[in-house]
Structures are given as C-alpha cells and as structure tokens.
Amino acid sequence: MKKQQSSFIAMASTLKMVFMLLFSIFTISPVSCYKGVHHPLDPLSPKELTLVQTIVKKSYNPSSNNSISFHYVGLDEPEKPTVLSWLSKPSTETLIPRRALVFTRVNEQTHEIIVDLSKRIIVSDEVYKGPGYPLLTADEQVAAIQLPLTYGPFIESAKKRELNVSYAVCSTFTVGWYGGAERTKRVVKVQCYYNKDTVNLYLRPIEGIQIVVDLDKMEIVEYSDTFKIPVPKADGTDYRFSEQKPPFGPRINGAAIMQTKGPGFEIDGHTIRWVNWEFHLAFDVRVGPIISLASIYDPEKHTYRSVLYRGHISELFVPYMDPTEEYYYKTFFDCGEFGFGQNAASLVPLADCPNNAVFMDGYYAAHDGSTVKVPNAFCIFERHAGDIMWRHTELGIPNRVITEARPEVSLVVRMVATIGNYDHIIDWEFKPSGSIKAQVGLSGVLEVKSTTFTNVDQINEEVYGTLLGDNTIGLNHDHFLTYRLDLDIDGVANSFVKQNLVTKHVNDEVSPRKSYWAVVSETAKTESEAKIRSGMAPSDLIIVNPNKKTKPGNHHGYRLIPGTATHPLLLEDDYPQIRGAFTKYNVWVTPYNKSEVWAGGKYVDQSQGQDTLAVWTLRDRKIENEDIVLWHVLGYHHSPCQEDFPVMPTLNAGFELRPTNFFERNPVLKVLPPKPVRWPNCTAKP
C-alpha cells in the first residue's frame, strides 16, 4: 500500500509539476496556523502519527513477541465546549491537550486506546470483546490477496480452468453477519479475478471458488471449489486511454478558468477562508473529509455566525441483491470496514479537479502504525459553472427596463474514495448565499458475475442483475450514504422543526376557493419525532435556534433540502438490514454525543447491528433546544445498464442546507456586479 501510494506520488507529482508550472499564479502555500499551535480539530500530523506509533509500541514492550496492528488512528475529538472556548480566545497558555483515538489488535484482541500526545502517555486502554471488529487495514488486505497465488488448491483450481495463476489478482470482501453467534475470528472472503489483457479485473471474476482468510493468523482457513464457469472475456473492458483503439472521441475543446486576481480563498493550516465563509477541513482515515466550524459572515451583524460544527459522511451501506451462495454476503459498509480516507485516491490535476484547484495531502497510520501520505487527497477550487446567483428583469414599469443579475460562484472541496471497484466523488460546496451543498458522484467499475448467457432471450432463471455483454451480469445493488451533520445554528442549542404543509378546506361563504395549504409547524421533542422518510408528506425540515430570532420574529434556521427519496427494500429483519438499520429513515436527529459518530457503529466488520444510529435513537432522548445532530441518508437503487460498462459515467446525488430566516434578507444582495474580466494584455495563440 505505502509502496503503491509512493510510486503514485512520483507519477502524480510529475503531473503536478507540469500543472504548477503552467498555473503557478494560482497555487497557494498554506500559511502556518495560530502561532504554530494546532487547531484543536486538526487531524493528526505525520509527526503525531509517528508519536502514537512509538508510544503504543513501547507500551506493549516490543521485545516480547506481541503482534500489534493499527486499525484506526485519529484525533480524539475534544469536547465541544472546550473547543469553542479555546477558539473564542486562542492562546498558547491554555492549550487543549492533543489526544489520539487508537483501535489496535494486540494478540488477536481489539484494544481501544486513548493516547495523550502532550504527556506522551496512554490515558486509557480497553479491550473490546465484540461483536464486531475494527477497520481492515490496507496492508493486511494486500497480504491476504497474495495467499491464494501460492496456495496449492487454488493453483489446482486455476489449472482446472486453464488459467495462468500469474494473471490472477485477488480482492478482499468482508463477510458480514448472518445470524447465530458471532464468528470468533477476524476473517475475510477473498475472490480472485483474471487480469490478463486488461487492468479491469472486476469484470473478469473467477467464479466457483470460495476462499476465507484469517486476517490475524494471515492464512487461508476455508477453501472450496464447487463449480466452473468461463471467465468473461477481456475485450472492451480496459478503460485506460493507452489501450483504446481509434477512433477516439468524442472530441472536446479544453478550457481553463482564468482568474486574473488568483483564487479568492486562503488556506491557513487546515482552515479555509473564502468570500464570506470560514471552515476547517480535516482528513480522517475512516470517513475521509471532515468539515468543521463552518461559519458565514453576516454583513449586518458584522460577525461570523456558526452553521455547521462538524459535517462528514458517517457510513456508506452497499448491499448487493444476489442471495446465492457466492454473493449473498456482499453487503458492505465502506467507511467502517474499508475506510474512505484509507482508500482516498490521489486526485489528478485537470482531470479530477479544474486548473484553478489547490491540493492538500492526507495522512493516516498504516497497519504497523507508520505514516502513509496520500498526495493530493483533497482539492479545493472555485466553481464558475455559469449559473446565476440571483436576477430580476423588471418590464412592468412603463417605459423602463431594469435588469440586475449576479453570476454564481461557489467553493468546492473534493475528495475521491475508491473502495475497490467503485469511485465515490465527495464534494462539499459553499455558496455566498449561505447554502452548503453536499454531493456524491458515483463512478468506477460495476461489480459483475459470470454467466453462460450471451443474450437476454436465453435467460431462464433469475440472474439478479443486467446482462451487460457476453457472459457478464452487472449485479443489482444499493448505495446508502449517511451524512452526520452536527449543525450549530447561531449557537449550540438548536431544535428540529417540521414545517408540515397541510391542505386546508375553505368553508366560509366569502372565498370561491375550496382549498389551500398552510404551514403547520411541529417541533420534534424527542428522537422518535424526528425520524422521517422523505417523500411521504410535504414538509420543510428546519434546524432552528429557538433562542435567536430575526427582527420580524422568525427563528434563525437552516433548512434541509433532501436528495431524491430512497428507502431500503430489504426486509427489516434481514441480517444486512439489521446492521444497516440506520438507513430506514432519510432523516434522524440525535442529541450530540461524542461517542455517536459512526452510524453503523464503532466496530462494523461482522457487527450485529448492536451499535447503530437506529439503536441509539431507541432511547428516544430529548432533542428540543439541545445540542443536536442531524443525520441524512441519501440513496440510489442501482440496476446497472450497459453504459455503466466498462467504467460508469458519473451519477450524482446530493442535498442542500439552505439558510431559512437565518439572515434578515438576501445576504448576497450587495454583491458587486461582474466587471468585464481583466484579460492578460495579449491575445491567445490558437
């Protein structure tokens, strides 16, 4: 993994060099943060990660033969009040101790460790006995997928299929939980692919072979070869440009964003300031990008006002819809099992991000606790999409025409998490009008299975997907993205208000109308009143500050404009759905609780759904005028089509958080009209 990453650094940085050279006027060197002191929410630095490794390894006395592996190393988030009070007057005297939250495996036991990096000591160390196991590390997966290649029975199976083992590439799959007592071992299933004449391994599965690997012992513990079916052919599966044959195209003219004044944002450590926004951006090995302390400047109140204390994707549940022996277990939790940060792709300048983007690296701890760098893990850029921020043309005043229009500009923070075959493009977009848009783009490669069928007409049984080509079924599946949105609208104490739109009957004699709709507001008192399936009843969902009002007396608020309503189709008592129960509703609200960060639980691998958002909310806690957290579940049901083959055009889903009586009026009313863009005083050479 580290080797791969670093080999990639070379490639990427060459590209980056070119790009830097070309657009050097646009690059920014992050300036140091407050007096060189860490922001309390900064992710662990490479230095700190190394320190964690040292402290933990020391404590387990390396001279003995303890086997230690690091499955999660992240910032142990300080309590919110502590953070807020320090930020209110940062000083080097009153430093908040830097602490790390560490999940390790020591001699086949899971440890949950808190390390104090300032005192350089372990503050607490608890053994977790399950159910469930921590994040799989990249390194152990790399080790596991090597095992079959030297494993006699597998070599036999390959021979039986007339396949050359040297072209076999394997991949790991979490086993899930299907009732009964928990497995006592940390195991994964390993499926192999035939990588000859293509790099698109996922489209060439070698079927009929079941391999189970014990990750702690790092050995194959189960093996079976039950049936043979030809591997789909390689033709047309490779997505690399170098492998494409002419005619190329369609041909698209290139373009560049030209900012004569350079980018409008500044990066100060992990804090980003742009136009009227300020927020903190952190990298986490499990959830990827974390937006913190997003606040917006209020021109009337002459101050920044808090909106989002912490926002990130919490879990991604991807159940496949093939119940057969070879595929039933494919019900993945990509954040909790594989890690969005651990699988962050190094972004490619000009392809993943436009020419005006600025990049940031990410760091995480590898299996052995050493630091891995992900170059260009994030890009940050101003989006000039040609949209309109607001406009009006007035033709109603005789003999006059008035037109005022302002072009939209927004700031985008992007990371891409590639979990095996799928690429998830994670965007956070900030608008000067106060909106925050979160979007996920889905690209990459489908999960397919082999079949003997070459035409739909031959299909005489359920195939659980779409026939995409000769011998290739694209399997039906879902993607459920769960966002954790710890909104602090103008302060910590907030309420969740459902502004239900209700049909009213007109009974008076005066009105010729029979009906209209009115807003009937309902404040959710407890968690159970805040569980909502989108699309069931029309309602504006608003997080308000019940203690702050506008001049006319409306509560300051932000509204959730949800994504397309998608609901689980698995039975509620089916095992994967028990573990993914947090997808039952599209909206949940909980009181802030430091330990409730991961909707699928801390230990998701082989979990039994004992520690999910659905379970937490059974306590039905008070959420009125409290520090509350909004959870939003976005989903797609994905029944593949041929256009998704061999690599799929991006499919988008997202939601908007929009100010609603947060400002006294349109906060971008006074934005300057566009000036003709100043142009370098020479003309372009075609």
For residue 447, state whether it binds a second copy (rule: CB under 8 A): no
> Which of 59-67, 450-458, 485-493, 610-618 is the region at the interface with a second copy (rule: CB under 8 A)?
450-458
The C-alpha torsion from 594 through 597 and 603 to 605, rounded to 10°, is: 180
Asked if 74 and 98 touch (Cβ cutoff 8 Å), the reply is: no
Establish whether 573 is a catalytic residue.
Answer: no
| Closest separation in Å from C-beta 57 to a second copy | 26
For residue 251, state whether it binds a second copy (rule: CB under 8 A): yes
Nearest by Cα to 330 from 553, 201, 174, 479: 174
Q: Are strands 587-591 and 388-394 parallel, antiparallel or unpaired?
A: unpaired
Q: Which is nearer to a second copy, 37 or 570 (CB)?
A: 570
From residue 245, alpha-carbon distances to 85, 203, 242 in Å are: 61, 19, 8
Q: How many whole angstroms separate alpha carbon 97 and alpha carbon 78?
A: 8
Q: Given candidates 108, 219, 222, 387, which one binds a second copy under the rule CB under 8 A?
A: 387
> Which of 58-66, 89-97, 533-541, 587-595 is the region at the interface with a second copy (rule: CB under 8 A)?
533-541
Q: Given candidates 278, 334, 337, 382, which one binds a second copy under the rule CB under 8 A?
A: 382
> Which of 91-99, 112-120, 122-130, 557-565 is the region at the interface with a second copy (rule: CB under 8 A)?
557-565
> Residues 6 or more apart from 268 whose CB is under 8 A from it?
30, 31, 32, 33
Q: Given candidates 301, 571, 593, 594, which one binds a second copy under the rule CB under 8 A?
A: 571
Q: Which of 334, 423, 427, 478 is catalytic?
A: 334
Q: Given candidates 56, 163, 409, 599, which one binds a second copy under the rule CB under 8 A?
A: 409
For residue 513, state whether it binds a second copy (rule: CB under 8 A): yes
> Which of 102-110, 219-227, 616-624, 663-671 is the region at the interface with a second copy (rule: CB under 8 A)?
663-671
Q: Which is nearer to a second copy, 152 or 686 (CB)?
A: 686
Establish whether 329 is a catalytic residue.
Answer: no
| Closest separation in Å from C-beta 395 to a second copy | 6
For residue 236, state whether it binds a second copy (rule: CB under 8 A): yes
Q: Which is nearer to a second copy, 91 or 244 (CB)?
A: 244
Backbone angles phi, psi at 615, to 5 degrees: -75, -45
- Which residue type does 46 have? P
Q: How many whole angstroms separate alpha carbon 186 and alpha carbon 69?
A: 13
For residue 71, state whether it binds a second copy (rule: CB under 8 A): no
Return the residues of window 270-329 that contact a second copy according to CB under 8 A: 275-276, 297, 299, 321-325, 328-329
Q: Which of 422, 558, 585, 592 is catalytic?
A: 422
Tell how far CA 75 is from the center of its chain: 18
Per rule CB under 8 A, count of chain residues that contact a second copy: 206
> Residues 6 or more apart from 568 whose CB is under 8 A from it?
478, 480, 577, 580, 583, 584, 635
Asked if 330 and 447 touch (Cβ cutoff 8 Å), the reply is: yes
Return the residues of window 133-152 that contact a second copy according to CB under 8 A: 142, 145-146
For residue 181, state whether it binds a second copy (rule: CB under 8 A): no
Burial class from Cβ neighbours inside 10 Å (0-12, 13-18, 19+) for residue 225 reads: middle
Asked if 363 and 43 touch (Cβ cutoff 8 Å), the reply is: yes
Backbone angles phi, psi at 445, to 5 degrees: -120, 145
For residue 13, state whether it binds a second copy (rule: CB under 8 A): no
Q: Which is nearer to a second copy, 349 or 591 (CB)?
A: 349
For residue 562, state whether it binds a second copy (rule: CB under 8 A): yes
> Which of 36-44, 91-99, 113-121, 339-347 is the region at the interface with a second copy (rule: CB under 8 A)?
339-347
Q: Which is nearer to a second copy, 83 or 560 (CB)?
A: 560
Asked if 660 and 558 touch (Cβ cutoff 8 Å), the reply is: yes
Nearest by Cα to 99 from 72, 71, 75, 121: 75
Q: Given candidates 97, 538, 594, 619, which one binds a second copy under the rule CB under 8 A?
A: 538
Return the residues of window 190-219 that contact a second copy according to CB under 8 A: 195, 199, 201
> Residues 6 or more apart from 76 whose CB is under 8 A from it?
99, 100, 101, 114, 115
Q: What is the DSSP letter of 166?
A: G
For residue 343, state whether it binds a second copy (rule: CB under 8 A): yes
From residue 234, alpha-carbon distances to 231, 447, 603 in Å are: 9, 15, 38
> Which of 31-39, 48-56, 94-102, 241-249 is the region at the interface with a second copy (rule: CB under 8 A)?
241-249
Instruction: Please report where in the chains the tokens 């040609």 appear, as a residue.
Output: 386
Q: Given candidates 108, 156, 569, 619, which one binds a second copy under the rule CB under 8 A?
A: 569
Return the residues of window 35-64 that contact a second copy according to CB under 8 A: none
Query: What region, left, alpha or beta, does residue 130 occupy, with left being phi > 0 and alpha being psi -120 to 50 degrees?
Result: left
- For the record, the structure tokens of 193 come out as 């692919």
For residue 125, state whether it binds a second copy (rule: CB under 8 A): no
Q: Which is nearer to a second copy, 83 or 668 (CB)?
A: 668
117: part of which helix (H) or strand (E)?
A: none
Return the residues of window 467-506 that contact a second copy according to CB under 8 A: 467-470, 476, 499, 501-503, 505-506
Q: Which is nearer to a second copy, 36 or 246 (CB)?
A: 246
- For the record, the structure tokens of 577 come out as 């759905």
> Which of 44-52, 287-295, 511-519, 524-532 is the region at the interface with a second copy (rule: CB under 8 A)?
511-519
For residue 642, state whether it binds a second copy (rule: CB under 8 A): yes
Q: How many whole angstroms separate alpha carbon 285 and alpha carbon 105?
A: 17
**Positions marked catalytic:** 334, 422
